[in-house]
Amino acid sequence: MSTPKMQGAEVDSDRRRATADPRPTRAVVVGLGYVGLPTALSLAEAGITVTGVDIDENRLLAIKSQHVDISDADRERLSRALSAGRLAVTTNAAAISEAEAVLISVPTPVDTHLVPDMRALTAACASVVANAVPDQTIVLTSTTYVGCTRDLIAEPLRHRNGWTVGEDVHVAFSPERIDPGVTRHDRRATPRVVGGVTTECGRRAEAAVAATAAAVHTVTSPEAAELTKLLENSFRAVNIAMVNEFADSCRAFGVDPIEVIEAAATKPYGFMPFHPGPGVGGHCIPCDTHYLLWQLRAQRLPAPLMNAAMGSIAARPRRVVDRARQLLADRGKPFAGADVLVLGVAYKPGVADVRESPALEIMSELTASGVRVSYADPYVPSVELGETTLLSGEGVEARAWDLVIVHTVHPGQDPAWLSGQDVVLDTTYRLDKRLRCAHL
């Protein structure tokens, strides 16, 4: 049992830590992808000297030359950060040891069996642990399973270095909240959640991520923060699956689903609008819920609603292909040999990101059925379908297609030329009604 003198010393130590300014002056961001690079730019803009660490030398060259897929505002921030010497990039993980704060932001996809692919995250965390220094704040931001922050960072630091987390080093989880291509969801206007292994860890992590968000909401543990991210995107997945099903029902009644959704959205409480589409892509919704389901299966805990939602989402691209086959058959056109254009292949408007894009699965299914597939997307010059590389078509407006599948319409695009096509399948549900498109 501690003596009164020792207890007083501990209180004095805690008070000194609590009154010290925890804001970092030097930070490292591990992983400079769609989340890591904007995070690094936010830190640099706040006056923090940032080093970005990434294993992809081509990505680093693209950043240095400013030829990366980021918003116009971020492109300006990148230019300022590089010019002012606030941002440097390297493949050398030793740079981690020079920082007061380290933010880990690497991809956490799922494999073809919908099992979490932890290779990038495991390697990144191992590199951070190997290069960690005393009094550092380490914040994991990649979406992951519950308990991952302790498993891959806190426990290895304790075993490898004998450090006490919360005293010798500070560890937390703070999930990213970045919505690429949507300016009204600017990350600096979006609150951020932080959960530290200890209270002091949470305080240090809050200071580290404060420059990247409008406010910080602190929870009591990394597990609470990890579950927060999984809840956010599981909520979206369930509602997207439901609204896709609702849109199919609307077609059976001959009613425009968007009209109904917009009418329901006039209710100021109890309703949040979601919109139907050809499926979901990107780094979040197609993957994140599977990290939770994977853990629940291991514990034999059923989650029928989330399982059904993810199954429905996964089946949506095939629903597009089936509808395309039906539309061509209604006009007496054989599916095999048909000339089909997919308009837009990015997973959402305004970005060049094709990760998990439903368009890729749609085009693969069409090709496997003997369809002659072309695509046009001003943001995506080429895509890989198996061993085949397709190039974005030019002059597609002047051709007569057996079918045009509208997958993504980017800002500034004028789809009026579609009125001259015989059959148009609008999977976005958002084109002008005067174009007389078919829907799913």
Burial of 144 (0-12, 13-18, 19+ CB in 10 A): buried
Beta pairing, strands 192-196 & 170-173: antiparallel
Residue 23 CA from chain centroid, whole number: 27
Q: In 254-284, where does DSSP find H-type helix? A: 257-264
Question: Among all chains, which residue has been given the structure tokens 């892509």?
Answer: 281
Distance CA 118, CA 6 (A): 43
Spatial distance between the Cα atoms of 169 and 164, rounded to a whole number of angstroms: 7
Strand partners, 340: 373, 403
DSSP string, 322-378: HHHHHHHHHTT--STT-EEEEE--SSSTT----TT-HHHHHHHHHHHTT-EEEEE-T
The question of whether 284 is a catalytic residue gets the answer: yes
Cα–chain-centroid distance for residue 41?
17
Burial of 284 (0-12, 13-18, 19+ CB in 10 A): buried
Q: Kindly name the residue from 125, 284, 287, 437 that is annotated as catalytic.
A: 284
Question: In whole angstroms, how far apart are CA 417 and each of 222, 292, 342, 432?
Answer: 51, 44, 14, 12
Report the distance separating Cα 279 and Cα 276, nearest Å. 8
Residues classed as catalytic: 284
